[in-house]
Structure 1
Amino acid sequence: MEDNMGYSNVGHVYGLASEGRLTKPRGGKTTLNTMALNVLTYMSYSTYDWPPTDKIRRLGLPCRYYALGWRSIAEHFGMMLLSDEQTSDPDADADAMMDARTATARSRITQAWRYLRDQNLIKELQPASLGKNAGYLLLLGDDEENNEVEDWARECLGLPWRK
Structure 2
Amino acid sequence: MGYRNMLAVEELAKEGRLTVIHKGVRSFDFSQYALLTRMAWLSADWPLDKTAEGKRVLPRTYSSGWLKIAIDWGMTLPQTTDEIVDIGNEPRNPKREQLAYNRLGKIAKKLESAGLIKCLRNGNVQRKNNAVWLLMLGDDEENAEVEAYVRSKLRL
TM class by shorter chain equals 0.7 to 0.9
CA deviations 1:46-94 (Å, max 9, x no partner) are 00001111333355432001100000110111111134xx35xxxxx32
Q: Is 1:112 aligned to 2:101, yes or no? A: no
Q: Please name the residue that 1:136 is paired with.
A: 133
Structure (1 or 2) with the greater strand fraction: 2
- Unpaired segments of 5 or more residues in structure 1? 88-92
Identity over aligned pairs, percent: 37
CA deviations 1:84-136 (Å, max 9, x no partner) are xx35xxxxx32489333222111110001101110000111111122100100
Q: Please name the residue that 1:149 is paired with.
A: 146
SS of the residue 2:21 aligns to: strand
Larger radius of gyration: 1
Determine which of 117, 120, 123 is the counterpart of 1:125: 120
CA distance in 1, matches of 2:151, 2:55: 14
User: What does 1:14-163 correspond to in 2, within 5 Å?
Assistant: 14-83=10-79, 86-87=80-81, 93-95=82-84, 98-129=93-124, 130-159=127-156
Normalized against structure 2, the TM-score is what? 0.87
- Unpaired segments of 5 or more residues in structure 2? 86-91
CA distance in 1, matches of 2:15, 2:6: 14
| Structure 1, 8-17 or 49-58: larger mean CA deviation | 49-58
Normalized against structure 1, the TM-score is what? 0.83
Letter in 2 for 1:127: N
